[in-house]
């Protein structure tokens, strides 16, 4: 049995969530957590904590929105603040992973999969979280428990 990891795509109003499968081979989209305002994180963090418990997650991979020239902007700084909050609340390691182009790739995958435009919006965040986690898992295989 492998550890279970969680991938997150943190946005201004949503957080896409994915988890690794039981074998530690693939990332699976779980859900998109939505909030009414960028600063209202209490319920978002509580939902992520519940999912961490439900899936028995031991590590979180958080997408870091770097600029195309590899610099960090305002969104990246907000993501780092979210990382610190998540680490404090869960006690888990929360690693940052480059998420450049994952939203565009998610859009392409959903479009090629025949998902209607009006249904893509609700799936794009957890698809991006899946790509972030899968990319990290490909570079850092999950160890045996």
Per the prediction, the chain carries an average pLDDT of 86
Q: Is the pLDDT of residue 71 over 70?
A: yes
Per the structure, how many domains does the chain have? Answer: 1
Residues sharing a CB contact under 8 Å with residue 92, sequence separation 6 or more, in sequence order: 52, 57, 58, 59, 60, 86
Which CATH number do you get for residue 46? 3.30.420.140
Q: Is residue 144 part of a domain?
A: no
Domain range for 125: 4-139
Task: Report pLDDT for 120.
Answer: 64
Task: Report pLDDT for 65.
Answer: 86
Q: Is the pLDDT of residue 16 over 80?
A: yes
DSSP one-letter code for 132: H
Q: How many of the other CB atoms lie within 10 Å of CB of 32? A: 21
**Element holding 97 (H helix, E strand):** strand 93-98
pTM for this structure? 0.87
Note the Cα 100 to chain centre separation in Å. 13
Taking alpha carbons only, the member of 87, 120, 85 closest to residue 105 is 120
Please report which confidence band the pLDDT of residue 95 belongs to, taking 50, 70 and 90 as the band edges: very high
Please report which confidence band the pLDDT of residue 141 belongs to, taking 50, 70 and 90 as the band edges: confident
Please report which confidence band the pLDDT of residue 94 belongs to, taking 50, 70 and 90 as the band edges: very high
Q: Is the pLDDT of residue 47 over 80?
A: yes
Q: How large a percentage of the chain has pLDDT more than 90?
A: 50
Q: Is the pLDDT of residue 37 over 90?
A: no
Q: Is residue 34 part of a domain?
A: yes
- Cβ contact 67:16 at 8 Å: no
Site of tokens 């969104």? 75
Q: Is residue 145 part of a domain?
A: no
- Tell me the three state secondary structure of residue 19: strand
More confident residue, 118 or 84: 84
Q: Is residue 120 part of a domain?
A: yes
């Amino acid at each position: 049995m492998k550890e279970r990891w969680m991938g997150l795509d943190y946005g201004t109003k949503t957080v896409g969530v994915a988890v690794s499968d039981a074998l530690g081979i693939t990332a699976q989209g779980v859900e998109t957590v939505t909030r009414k305002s960028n600063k209202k994180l209490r319920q978002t963090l509580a939902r992520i904590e519940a999912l961490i418990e439900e899936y028995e997650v031991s590590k979180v991979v958080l997408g870091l929105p770097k600029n195309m020239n590899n610099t960090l902007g305002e969104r990246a700084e907000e993501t780092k603040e979210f990382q610190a909050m998540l680490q404090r609340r869960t006690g888990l390691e929360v690693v940052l992973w480059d998420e450049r182009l994952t939203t565009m790739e998610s859009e392409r995958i959903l479009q090629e999969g025949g998902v209607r435009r009006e249904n893509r919006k609700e799936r794009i965040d957890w698809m991006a979280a899946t790509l972030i986690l899968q990319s990290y898992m490909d570079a850092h295989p999950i160890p045996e428990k």
